[in-house]
Amino acid sequence: MSTLADIAAELPGYDPSDLRVADATAFLEALAEPVQGTETLPLHEALGRVLAHDLVSPLSVPPHDNSAMDGYAFDGAALQPGQPLQLRPVGQALAGRPWQGQVAPGECVRIMTGAVMPAGLDTVVPQELTTPGPDGTIAIAPDVLRPGANRRLRGEDLQEGAIALQKGELLSPAAIGLAASLGLQTLEVTRRLRVAYFSTGDEILRPGEPPRPGAIYDSNRATLTSLLARLGAQVIDLGAVPDDPAQIAAAFARAAAQADAVITSGGVSTGDADHTRAMLQQLGDVVSWRLAMRPGRPMVVGRIARALEGKMASSPIQESAGSYENQSILFGLPGNPVAAMVCFLVLVRPALLRMMGVRQQALPYLQARSSEIIRKRPGRTEYPRGIVFTAPDGNLQVCTTGSQGSGMLSSMVRANGLIVLRHEQGDVAMGDLVDVMMFDAAL
């Protein structure tokens, strides 16, 4: 495992005092390694979890050629261009009850959707394309069907021996269904990621505390623990800790002892009471960043030792210098509520997904036309909160939520995504196409 200095050395142009989002992302990708450990769960408990190994299909799905329609199965070679066809039903094939008999020329088999195709037959005419013929026969009009129509082939969904689900798949309802279609009852998934969170600040009120002058209720704890829960992490909620070095140190010790990752908010800037930064320099291998992004400028990242309890006062990290097995990854987020959420979505979320073993870590972007002018300074990535909507002409448009103060959490409620204005980009003109990182699934 590399030190933060090693990681930084691999990034040409790495500058912690003016760090590009791309460099921060690459840094965190190197820092956040997948955690070890798996568990086997019944399918119905595996939703939202992460598949630990490639899943090789033990059988073909569907297991046999079968009908896609309710109708009549026959030999498609009998179809002649421009000619009607008359067939005599000689039996019935139901889903789960195959027809075992032989079929002679001029004959067909009544068949239902999902029923196994009788031997020698390759085509199904849906019943609505037939008319009754003389003596119990059915008639098919000319040129309504091609040979092979309405037959689902064995293995057309999945071939036996093929990879049905890839390692790192975040298990969706469809993925769980696919596993069920293979007859599986359990799946091996990576263990849940343990993530501890606490807020810092003397001004933070706990839920239920009466208001007092200068104090605010703790929104970051609610947003961040919710974001973590949405991600499928096991959240260790350590509440709020005042700006007191001893209490913050104790909170870090408690958090690191239990968690793979520790997330805090507040105290990472330059204020007189910003103890988090100073404290962390002693507790682990950490670095303070000033990100070239808005919102979300200050951030602290690194590793802190897990066995801090009891060692805090004397000589904490030096003992374990060089060995990182017992370390938690730290993400110290800025206190401003929107900045904390944006830093989480842009930088922390992909890192945590990586630790969880998830293959696909990026949120999908879509493009929409800006319905307004957006001022943008080149030299930093900006994430204005956006509202994507379908314009009367049917195209996607996006407007901002208005004032972009990084304490305005209500704007995050109204937004359905973050507009992504790239590092080098300048002002956006009305009608320009912009990228939008949609919240859906993440928020």
Binding site for ligand MOO (CB under 6 A): 294-297, 334, 336, 339, 406
- Considering only 71, 168, 284, 298, the residue that binds ligand LQZAQKY5 (CB under 6 A) is 298
**H or E segment to which residue 89 belongs:** strand 85-93
| Residues facing 123 on adjacent strands | 74
Does residue 382 bind ligand LQZAQKY5 (CB under 6 A)?
Answer: no
Select from ligand MOO, ligand LQZAQKY5, none the partner in contact with residue 203, using the beta carbon and a kind-dependent cut-off of 5 to 8 Å: ligand LQZAQKY5
- Six-digit token string for 125: 């005419």
- The contact mask relative to ligand LQZAQKY5 for 198-227 (x = CB under 6 A, - = no) is -x-x-xx-----------x-xxxx------
- Considering only 168, 284, 302, 334, the residue that binds ligand LQZAQKY5 (CB under 6 A) is 334
Minimum CB separation from ligand LQZAQKY5 for residue 277, in Å?
8
Does residue 271 bind ligand LQZAQKY5 (CB under 6 A)?
Answer: yes
Q: Calculate Rg over the CA atoms of the chain.
A: 30
Does residue 337 bind ligand LQZAQKY5 (CB under 6 A)?
Answer: yes
**H or E segment to which residue 220 belongs:** helix 219-231
Minimum CB separation from ligand LQZAQKY5 for residue 318, in Å?
27
Residue 421: DSSP 8-state: B
Long-range contacts from 394-398, C-beta under 8 angstroms, 24+ separation: 395/368, 395/369, 396/366, 396/367, 396/368, 396/369, 397/368, 397/369, 397/370, 397/371, 398/368, 398/369, 398/370, 398/371, 398/434, 398/436
The Cα angle at residue 313 between residues 312 and 316, in degrees rounded to 5: 45
Does residue 336 bind ligand LQZAQKY5 (CB under 6 A)?
Answer: yes
- In the complex with ligand MOO, the residue whose CB is nearer, 270 or 315, is 270
Residues 343 and 280 sit within 8 Å (Cβ to Cβ): no
Minimum CB separation from ligand MOO for residue 422, in Å?
17
- In the complex with ligand LQZAQKY5, the residue whose CB is nearer, 114 or 407, is 407
Select from ligand MOO, ligand LQZAQKY5, none the partner in contact with residue 71, using the beta carbon and a kind-dependent cut-off of 5 to 8 Å: none
Contact window for ligand LQZAQKY5 (CB under 6 A) among 79-87, 332-340, 346-354, 385-393 = 332-340
The Cα angle at residue 304 between residues 300 and 307, in degrees rounded to 5: 155
**H or E segment to which residue 350 belongs:** helix 349-356
Contact window for ligand LQZAQKY5 (CB under 6 A) among 109-117, 197-205, 414-422, 428-436 = 197-205
Does residue 151 bind ligand LQZAQKY5 (CB under 6 A)?
Answer: no
Does residue 155 bind ligand LQZAQKY5 (CB under 6 A)?
Answer: no
β-strand pairing of 71-74 with 66-67: unpaired
- Considering only 67, 265, 400, 401, the residue that binds ligand LQZAQKY5 (CB under 6 A) is 265
Between CA 295 and CA 89 the distance in angstroms is 71
Nearest CA-CA partner of 265 in 316, 299, 216, 226 = 299
Does residue 267 bind ligand LQZAQKY5 (CB under 6 A)?
Answer: yes
Select from ligand MOO, ligand LQZAQKY5, none the partner in contact with residue 201, using the beta carbon and a kind-dependent cut-off of 5 to 8 Å: ligand LQZAQKY5
Find where tokens 């700006």 sit. 243
Does residue 123 bind ligand LQZAQKY5 (CB under 6 A)?
Answer: no
Which residues fall within 8 angstroms of residue 170, CB to CB, at 6 or more apart?
Answer: 48, 49, 50, 353, 358, 359, 360
Residues 179 and 55 sit within 8 Å (Cβ to Cβ): yes
Minimum CB separation from ligand MOO for residue 296, in Å?
4
Which residues are at the interface with ligand LQZAQKY5 (CB under 6 A)?
Answer: 199, 201, 203-204, 216, 218-221, 265-271, 274, 297-298, 334-337, 339, 406-407
